[in-house]
Amino acid sequence: MQPVTTLIERTGPLTFARFMELALYEETNGYYMKGAGLSRSHTSPIGMEGGDFFTAPCLSPLLARCLVRQLVEIDDCLGHPAVFHLVEMGPGNGTLLRDMLQECGERHAALLSRLACVLVERSPALRRHQQDTLSAWATHEGGIRWVDDVSRLSGDGLTGMLFSNELVDAFPVHRIRMERDGLRELYVTRRHGEFVEIAGEPSTPELALFLADLGVELPDGFTTEINLNAVRWIEQVARALDLGVVVTIDYGHTSRDYFSRERGNGTLMGYYRHRVSMNPYTLVGEQDLTAHVNFSSLARAGGQAGLTTTGLTNLMYFLMSMGIDDMVQDHDRESDTARAAAQLLRHHGMGTTFKVLIQHKGIEHPTLRGLRHRPFFESALTAAPEVPLQGGASVMRHAHCGGQ
């Protein structure tokens, strides 16, 4: 891909985070940015047909319906404000918000009219997709608008719910490796016309600080990702929210599990046409790149920025707590809805690899139904990893729900 190679030739090796940033978000050739100048009907990378991976909202409106049940409870906690900000960050095709608005329209008309919707989307091409998907809501009474970055909402004093599904895994990550002589960062360069990785001094002291803050000591040879963008993002989210709740859904782990032996080669992976790729250096700009989310880091950084952790659960417990079983009980076992529910709830699949982190601000200890069942003890988010054993790292990776 032109801009990456040109930049390496001009300026030398890039951090992996910079490489991933260009591969996914370079203005014209980045994976998520393509089609910015094309017609509205250009193909999105997300979807069962034609895309590279699919996500929970593509499967069925079940997640949307569960989130609306949670939204209603949060509205109760907030005392039914005259304007309830409903902010989706990284909305992809816009399907999740569309289905949530639809659900609100059918069951909670009074709440619907108070919803001021904001979509935070970096890609102009995907913003256009979202405008298409949500065209029926263009004149929504409470308003609907788009911004390109959550920092634009800073100081808006939002009251309501900010949420995302599979956003944080799409942020560019640094790659690091612990070597005998200390922490090294992996850089990307070119040799004989190919991309190659080289290890060097960390590009920023923030990488070592990130590990130290979480009490992580990596053994020799351990390679992993550090998502500094996730830290900055949750700080900005905290700044934008005055009163309410942040719901982050993504695949990932507490720090203890993130830095466990089985992930000793990291969690980075690519997606191309519903196939998993372990090589980020092929199909640059054509394949999606993603890394699992460290929820302990989000909870910690959010805490420092004014967000209190309400709780962490997994997708299966969240959906069950919100009553997904009554949503499917009248459907035939072979129906699309029942199949979608089975996929969302799958143990050793989406149901357990996906987590739901809820944080709040300005409310006294809300008791939320979605967190009724938690597979984690309260201390799990803050527990330091057990020092992983040397060597023998095997990789367990989990994908966007589609790809494998």
Ligand X SMILES: C[S@@+](CC[C@H](N)C(=O)[O-])C[C@H]1O[C@@H](n2cnc3c(N)ncnc32)[C@H](O)[C@@H]1O
Residue 397 has which token pair?
């990776």
Residue 80 has which token pair?
């039914």
Q: Among positive and negative, which fits the CA dihedral 373, 377, 380, 382?
A: positive
DSSP run (H or E) holding 224: strand 223-226
Choose between 94 and 366: whose C-beta lies nearer to ligand X: 94
Give min distance, CB of 303 to ligand X, in A. 21
Choose between 20 and 74: whose C-beta lies nearer to ligand X: 20
Choose between 4 and 178: whose C-beta lies nearer to ligand X: 4
Choose between 96 and 216: whose C-beta lies nearer to ligand X: 96
Give min distance, CB of 206 to ligand X, in A. 18
Give min distance, CB of 145 to ligand X, in A. 14
Compute the residue count for the chain. 404
Give min distance, CB of 217 to ligand X, in A. 30
Give min distance, CB of 184 to ligand X, in A. 27
Choose between 223 and 277: whose C-beta lies nearer to ligand X: 277
For the beta carbon of residue 280, count every other beta carbon within 10 angstroms: 22
Choose between 223 and 248: whose C-beta lies nearer to ligand X: 248
Give min distance, CB of 386 to ligand X, in A. 31
Give min distance, CB of 43 to ligand X, in A. 14
Q: Where are the beta strands (DSSP E) in 10-157?
A: 14-15, 84-89, 115-120, 144-147
Residue 158 burial (10 A CB sphere; 0-12, 13-18, 19+): buried
Q: How many CA atoms lie within 13 A of 161 on its CB side?
A: 25
Distance, first Cα to last Cα, the chain: 25
DSSP, collapsed to helix, strand or coil, labels residue 218 as coil
What residue has token string 């009554």?
Answer: 326
Choose between 89 and 316: whose C-beta lies nearer to ligand X: 89
Q: Which parts of this chain interact with ligand X (CB under 6 A)? A: 32, 46, 55, 57, 89-92, 120-123, 126, 149, 165-167, 170
Choose between 24 and 214: whose C-beta lies nearer to ligand X: 24
Give min distance, CB of 92 to ligand X, in A. 2
Are the CB atoms for 157 and 202 separated by under 8 Å? no
Residue 299 has which token pair?
């909870």
Alpha helices per DSSP H over 78-187: 95-107, 109-114, 124-133
Query: Which residue type is seen at 129?
Result: H
